[in-house]
């Protein structure tokens, strides 16, 4: 056995160090516990670093295919990865518990919540789950759900979204109605405390709205649409509408991107056969003025014709005043008793943009192609996705353009000029989204298979801009396999894409 020989100079240094430590301990400036504490904290830091480098093993639960139910399985797996959606479902469950809700919609939400809970990531392998109870509840609302025919994932998604919205609205209404219900008054006499009871009910109603408001549907956003006449420059009132998903037409190309699909949705269209209300009022006013001048200048051949002329002059003068008021203040105002002239058709521009981005941006990639024969086919274009999606070029900025040939709003930055600071500004404007799930359809237009890609957040404290803690899984019914991010981004056949705002 070889022994370790320590050189003399090293022995001297060790001796001096030992004396130094002994002196410090004798003076009370260094204790054994502090040395051990420092050593143990160093070990803990080392352990944490090793633990941070060690990746957590995650298991996802699959869903049994009960007969062409892959459309349902893939949609449920995708929704299970959306934090804001899961929170919204649980808030609806709380509302149902308070209002004692019992309906077809309530049954669907209860079963949906159970399935979503079962689809949470796990630390150990578990067998697949049967969604039979949820399918049974959904079939009361749409029998097509329970049929063994192939169905559409987007139709199911819209059914679930509208059901949750209905439950939240009805549950809140029943609660407020219960607070407003007055107790029967005995003997037909009005109690002296009746007004006090009404005031208490009103106060309880207000308190209920403040303390536990109707949960906000994270899928709901708002779009702004504008139609403008190129000939006269008149712009109709901006019309706002809510949406829970945007249906984007996929370009006829071999390869495209999700940004190009959004650009097509928000592109400015030109319509040739457009009847402008402003032009109609201008044409009508010109006609009224001609008729008025004719009645004012025609000679009165008799008392009867004179009375008719005076009546027509008064009527036309009133119409002239109404038309001039409408042109000056509000062309959309109702013009009672006036038949508008129809001028020659003009060219108009029409555009739709996102006015209020939702917490969850659900995008439906419409792949239907309508053939000259009357049939339909699937657009096989490969749609390249982005992990981080900036939708600011497709949203209104607060400044609305009054030029008919110009967009409603323009992007504040060119895509090539983005820096970390500009990304922070986009994030502040609620326009930066993180990819969370994708429903993919493989096959032809009327047949095929749905499966999903699902993001798992391993470290909730990690910066989502970096994405270093993300894990992605491809889930096809009962099978769940981890895949790299690039496989998801280049999947190509995306059908439903879910982004969550960060």
The pLDDT averaged over each successive group of 10 residues in the chain (502 residues) is 42 42 40 41 45 68 94 97 96 84 87 96 92 94 82 94 91 50 37 52 53 81 92 87 95 94 92 89 94 83 74 92 93 91 88 94 94 88 95 82 73 48 66 95 90 90 78 96 95 95 92
Helix (H, G, I), strand (E, B) or coil at 19: helix
Q: Do the beta carbons of residue 471 and residue 70 sit within 8 Å?
A: no
Task: State the Cα–Cα distance between residues 339 and 90, nearest whole angstrom.
Answer: 54
**What is the C-alpha separation between 126 and 58, in angstroms, rounded?**
11
CA distance linking residue 69 with residue 61, whole number of Å:
16
- Helical pair 153-180 and 194-211, crossing angle rounded to 10 deg: 150
Beta strand 360-366 pairing with 246-249: parallel
**For residues 337 and 335, what is the distance between their CA atoms, to the nearest angstrom?**
6
Predicted local distance difference test score (pLDDT) of residue 200: 58
**Partners of residue 222 on adjacent β-strands:** 242, 356
Residues in the chain: 502
For residue 481, the number of C-alpha atoms closer than 13 Å in the C-beta half-sphere is 8
Sign, CA torsion 423/427/432/437: positive
pLDDT given for residue 410 in this prediction: 62
Return the closest-CA partner of residue 376 out of 447, 449, 450, 451: 447
Contact 349, 404 (CB under 8 A): yes
pLDDT at 102: 72
Give the closest residue to 60 by CA, choosing from 458, 329, 388, 441.
Answer: 458
CA distances in angstroms from 315 to 288, 305, 326, 390, listed in the order given: 10, 15, 17, 57
Residues in contact with 31: Cβ distance below 8 Å, sequence separation at least 6, in sequence order: 25
Residue 243 pairs with which residues in a beta bridge? 221
Question: Would you state the pLDDT for residue 420?
Answer: 56
Long-range contacts of 489-492 (CB under 8 A, 24+ apart): 489/384, 489/385, 489/386, 489/387, 489/435, 490/382, 490/384, 490/385, 491/385, 491/438, 491/440, 491/453, 492/381, 492/382, 492/383, 492/384
pLDDT at 362: 98
Q: Which of 360, 429, 18, 399 is nearest to 238 (CA)?
A: 399
Query: What is residue 113's predicted lDDT score, i.e. its pLDDT?
Result: 97
CB-based burial of residue 326 (10 Å sphere; 0-12 exposed, 13-18 middle, 19+ buried)? buried
- The model's pTM is 0.75
Cα separation of 148 and 139, whole Å?
Answer: 12
Q: What residues have CB less than 8 Å from 452, skipping those under 6 apart?
A: 73, 74, 75, 77, 78, 437, 438, 439, 440, 474, 475, 476
């Amino acid at each position: 056995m070889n022994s370790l020989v320590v050189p003399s100079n090293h022995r001297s240094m060790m001796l001096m160090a030992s004396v130094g430590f002994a002196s410090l301990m004798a003076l009370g400036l260094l204790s054994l516990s502090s040395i051990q504490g420092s050593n143990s904290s160093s070990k803990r830091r080392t352990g944490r670093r090793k633990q941070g480098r060690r990746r957590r093993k995650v298991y996802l639960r699959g869903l049994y295919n009960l007969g062409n139910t892959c459309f349902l399985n893939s949609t449920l797996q995708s929704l299970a990865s959306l934090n804001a959606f899961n929170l919204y479902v649980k808030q609806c469950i709380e509302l149902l518990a308070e209002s004692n809700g019992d309906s077809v919609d309530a049954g669907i939400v209860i079963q949906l919540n159970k399935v979503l809970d079962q689809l949470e990531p796990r630390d150990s392998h578990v067998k697949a789950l049967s969604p039979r109870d949820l399918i049974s509840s959904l079939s009361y609302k749409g029998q097509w759900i329970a049929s063994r025919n192939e169905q559409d994932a987007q139709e199911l998604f819209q059914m679930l979204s509208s059901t949750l919205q209905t439950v939240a609205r009805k549950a809140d209404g029943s609660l407020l109605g219960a607070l407003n219900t007055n107790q029967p008054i005995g003997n037909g006499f009005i109690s002296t405390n009746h007004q006090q009871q009404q005031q208490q009910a009103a106060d309880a109603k207000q308190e209920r709205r403040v303390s536990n408001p109707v949960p906000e549907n994270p899928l709901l956003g708002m779009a702004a649409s504008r139609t403008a006449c190129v000939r006269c420059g008149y712009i109709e009132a901006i019309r706002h509408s809510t949406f829970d998903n945007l249906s984007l037409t996929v370009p006829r190309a071999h390869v495209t991107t999700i940004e190009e699909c959004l650009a097509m949705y928000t592109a400015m269209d030109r319509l040739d056969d457009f009847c402008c209300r402003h032009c109609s009022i201008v044409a009508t006013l010109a006609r009224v003025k001609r008729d008025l001048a004719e009645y004012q200048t025609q000679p009165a051949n008799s008392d009867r014709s004179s009375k008719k002329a005076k009546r027509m002059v008064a009527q036309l003068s009133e119409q002239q005043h109404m038309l001039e008021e409408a042109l000056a203040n509000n062309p959309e105002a109702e013009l009672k008793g006036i038949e508008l002239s129809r001028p020659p058709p003009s060219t108009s521009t029409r555009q739709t943009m996102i006015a209020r981005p939702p917490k969850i941006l659900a995008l439906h990639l419409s792949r239907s192609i309508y053939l000259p024969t009357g049939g339909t086919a699937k657009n096989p274009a490969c749609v390249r996705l982005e992990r981080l999606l900036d939708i600011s070029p497709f949203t209104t900025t607060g400044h609305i353009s009054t030029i008919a040939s110009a967009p409603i709003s323009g992007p504040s930055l060119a895509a090539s000029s983005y820096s970390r600071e500009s990304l922070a500004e986009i994030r502040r404007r609620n326009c930066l989204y993180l990819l969370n799930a994708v429903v993919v359809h493989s096959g032809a237009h009327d047949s095929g298979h749905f499966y999903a890609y699902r993001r798992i957040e391993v470290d909730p404290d990690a910066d989502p801009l970096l994405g270093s803690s993300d894990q992605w899984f491809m889930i096809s019914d009962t099978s769940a396999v981890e895949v790299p991010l690039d496989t998801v981004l280049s999947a190509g056949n995306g059908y439903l894409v879910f982004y969550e705002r960060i």
